[in-house]
Structure 1
């Protein structure tokens, strides 16, 4: 097609040149020397070539070596099985083999719960995810033929089961198992189910799962201890067929605060691994329950959603009443009023008398005039119209911590149409988004009035948000945490502090240990230029550790992961400000990498077959098989590129030169 266009362009250029210089004109007086026509032909043809932009395909070839992706297990279990030196030695043999280097493009990674480029090995990672070690290289190098060599003990402690991972046609998997795969007799505590909170002098249930690996009949004592006291004891029996036991019992909360306990099963004679015979757990004991009253004359799914969200915290109890029923607000820590109208006159009288905190939710049919008459801090324009509005989270919100809460693309709720005017400082949690327009009008806000605290939610349809939370994350935690944080703030009569801390009373050793802080200036607005430091002391050893907080969104956070088990006290201080807060927490000992008695090859055998699994000391056989694999051959790939036949810059210069030369010759011949 390009050649045809070039021929047509040449014809057009010739016709224009011949016509303009008289060769195809009836007039003889305009016929000039032939080079004028030639110059005009070349000029017009060059201009037309700029529009055609002729191109041609150029083909080159490149040689692609197959890839050899080596992944090394960097978790603690490798060290516990005393295989670290063997792993390093075999890794060196593979990556330094001259034949492999000439045959493959070698890439090395280490993995634990994540994958990272291999720079060094420490064997200190606290979890192992073999699924990502097998699946991610296939995705990362999906268009290349490759061998994936995994150096591991075969023990997985997190993630999806790797034995069901799909291996694509471009991948050859070579697992190498390190450590003793002999199955030794073993008893271990696999899981403990216990409520996180309990009330003082109440019983709380505990469920412990114990597993047995062995052939002999065994009877061992299971017990739960706290310090030197035995809280519960039972004899458990196991044999070749009875390999598991579930121990269920109740304990009594006798003291306020974090109560740490240890569940243990008596070891077997000559048991190789006794680390998994013990497991710590804890319960936070509180001395009272938060009672919440939801007061409403409407029957609406929002009320059920709020009740479930509030009671997702074991230390809270919700009572639902209508305004016509008898109630005494003095019996409740917080009153939630849904669908306020004149029927709430009795409630407002008690609220004023008792100086109670409130949470007002307008609901589907609010009485705006009555609501405005009861609150001087804001005024909502009275309108019978409603908008369908989505929530937009205010990232500068400071009343409570929102780091773990996300409400992106949540469904719209019904909100009053009128404009809201404030007569006091408020902290907006959500703004309205109507269609594609984000407004500065709030859906949900908090404010303080003297010694009381209040929340206002101008919406009906909150149940949709709880349902969306489940659709997004397969649980209600996102919505429930938001409601729980709001209730926690309102149920407390404590004045708001400029420095607030958010942390757990206890953490497990193998999990993230984060402490969040919110620092406000003297106007109670979030201060993002603060310098916060944490001084944490181990109660027993008196070891002092100082770490700085890092700004993260609308709060500050410090990561204490890696601290040893024990009890800690801490103080948070703000530099150049007379602010500090103190607290305490416990870290419970639990190392999941210590729970395995030996290496495991069962999963790899299921994935690739028994004959394709290699073991410690079989590196030479692995290297030989890598060299023989017919899939892993060098391939030649053609690369086709379209290249322009002309360079437009040079062609443009030629056009200018031709025009200039033609003008000069015409001038010289007196034609200009």
Structure 2
């Protein structure tokens, strides 16, 4: 095609040159015409070549080695099964094999909850997700033929079941199992279901799952203890047919605070692993419930969404009343007013009388003039129009911590069109986004009015936000936690502090242990240049540990993961400022990697078949099969590269030279 275009271009250039210099369409003739026509032909032809840009293809071939992806289990269970040295020895044997190094492009990774490049092995990870070890190498190298060698004990403690993973046509999976796969008799507490909170002197339900691995008939004592006291006991019987038991019972909350307990099943004779015969759990006992009143003069789905969100925390109870009903605000810790109209006049009288904190949500048909008459801290322009506005989170918001929450692409809510004017300092939670335009006008804000706290939400349609939370995360937690944080702030009568610390009363040893802090300057604005340190003491051995906080978004955070089980007291201090906060928490003992009695090869056999599963020490057989796998052969890959026939820079220079030469000759001959 390029050659045809060049021939056409030559013809067009010849016709133009012959026409312009009298060879076509005129009888005039001069001896100079051939030279001028030739120059014009070359000029036009060069210009047309510049547009055609002729190219030619050059093809090269390269040998492409298959990939050998080695993924090593770095979890604690490898060490508990005394297989760490065997894993390292086999890994070294594979990596040092000359034949493999010449036949494969080798990549090495380690995995626990996630997969990452292999630098060293410590066998210290607290969780194992075998599914990522199988699926992620396929995604990383999806266009290459490869062998994935997984060195593991076959035990999985988190993630999707790996035995149902998909193996694509470009992948050969070679699992190597480490540890003793012999089945031993074992009793294990597999799970405990219990509410996180309970009220003083109330009963709370506990459900414990116990499993049995063995053939003989056994009866063992199950009990719940707290310190030296036994709170519940029952004898459980197992045999080859009855391999599990569910124990359900109620306990009574007798003291305020974190109450730690231990569930224990008596060990079998000569039981190999007794670490899984007990499991700690805890309940936070509180002495009162937060009562919230939602007061409204209308029916709206927002009210139901708010009720469900507030009551997602079992410490809170919601009552819904119409403004026409009888109510006494002194019976409630917080009043949420949904709607704005003169129907709330009685409520405002009681709010002033009892100095109650309030949360006003304007709803769908607010009386803006009435709203302005009740609040001196702000004024909303009454335009009688509404916008459909999405929320934009204020990243500098400091009233309560929102680091773990996300509100991107939440659906629009109906908000009043008018402009807000503030007469006091406010902390804006959400701004308006109208279409693609982000504004600085707030939808939701908080402020303090003397000794009282106020929250104002200028919106109708919050139920859509809760629904979106479920669509995004398959639960309502994102929206419910937002509402819960707002209620927690308003339900407390404590003055706002410049240093606030957020933490849980107890943590499980195998989970993340994060403590958050918010540090405000003297104007109660978030201070991002603070230096915060945490001094933490184990109450039993008095060991003192100091950890610095790290800035994360609009709060500071410290990660205490890895601490031993026990009770701890802590103090958060701010350098160069006389601010500190103290507290305490408990870490409950639980190491999920210790729950396994032996290595497991059943899942891998189900995934790849019995003949494709290897065991520690079988590296010679593994290497032989890798080298003979028909999928894992060197392939020739052709690559085609297009190269320009003429460099456009030189061609452009030639065009300029030809034009200049033609002009000079015409000038010299008096033709210009």
- TM-score in terms of structure 1 length: 0.97
* 2:632 corresponds to: 632
- Alpha-carbon displacement from aligned partner over 1:247-300 (angstroms, at most 9, x marks no partner): 111112222211111111111111101111111111111111111111123222
Matches within 5 A, 1:91-490: 91-490=91-490
- What is aligned with 1:590? 590
Q: What is the deviation of 1:658?
A: 3.3
Q: CA deviation at 1:372?
A: 1.7
- Whether the 8 Å contact between 1:23 and 1:31 is mirrored in structure 2 is no
Deviating more after overlay: 38-47 vs 573-582: 38-47
Q: Deviations over 1:608-638 (max 9, x none)?
A: 1111111112111111111111111111111
Q: Which residue of 1 aligns with 2:504?
A: 504
Query: For residue 530 of structure 1, what is the aligned residue in structure 2?
Result: 530
Gaps of at least 5 residues in structure 2 are: none
Give RMSD over aligned pairs: 1.6
* Map of 1:614 onto structure 2: 614
C-alpha displacement at 1:93, in angstroms? 1.3
| Greater Cα shift, 534-543 or 81-90 | 534-543
Aligned equivalent of 2:564: 564
Shift of 1:199: 1.3
Aligned-partner Cα distance in 1 for 2:596–2:254: 35
How far apart are 1:661 and its partner, in Å? 4.3
Task: Measure, in 1, the Cα distance between the counterparts of 2:51 and 2:415.
Answer: 59
Deviations 1:388-413 (A, max 9, x none): 22111111111100111111111122
* 1:548 matched residue in structure 2: 548
Alignment check: 8 A CA contact 1:295 1:336 kept: yes
Q: Secondary structure at the match of 1:583?
A: strand
Asked if 1:8 is matched to 2:30, the reply is: no
Kindly state the Cα deviation for residue 43 of structure 1 after the two structures are TM-superposed: 2.5
- Secondary structure of the residue aligned to 1:495 is coil
> Aligned with 1:285: secondary structure?
strand
Residue 576 (structure 2) pairs with residue 576 (structure 1): yes
Partner of 1:74: 74
User: Secondary structure in 1 aligned to 2:405?
Assistant: coil
Contact kept, 8 Å, 1:21 with 1:32, in 2: the verdict is: no
Distance 2:153 2:202 in 1: 45
Separation in structure 2 between the aligned mates of residue 603 and residue 85 of structure 1, nearest angstrom: 24
Task: Measure the CA separation in 2 of the matches of 1:327 and 1:595.
Answer: 54
Shift of 1:25: 6.9
Q: Deviations over 1:623-658 (max 9, x none)?
A: 111111111111111111221111111212222333
Pairwise CA distance, 1:551:
1.1
Q: Find the residue that maps to 1:390 and give its secondary structure.
A: strand
Q: How many residues align?
A: 672
- SS of the equivalent of 2:326 reads coil
Residues 22, 30 of structure 1: 8 Å contact kept: no
Post-superposition offset of 1:449: 0.3
CA contact (8 A) 1:509 1:589 kept: yes
8 Å CA contact 1:22–1:32 kept in 2: the answer is: no
**Once the 2 structures are TM-superposed, how far is the Cα of residue 421 of structure 1 from its aligned partner?**
1.8
Structure 1 unaligned spans of 5+: none
- The offset of 1:489, in angstroms, is 0.1
Q: Could you tell me how far 1:517 is from its partner in structure 2?
A: 0.9
Q: Secondary structure at the match of 1:208?
A: strand
Using the size of structure 2 for normalisation, the TM-score is: 0.97
Q: How far off its partner does 1:34 sit?
A: 4.3
CA deviation digits over 1:351-380, x for unaligned, max 9? Answer: 101111011111122222222211111122
> Aligned partners of 2:664, 2:459: CA distance in 1, in Å?
82
How big is the shift at 1:95? Answer: 1.5
Q: 1:22 to 1:541 in 2, by over 3 A?
A: same
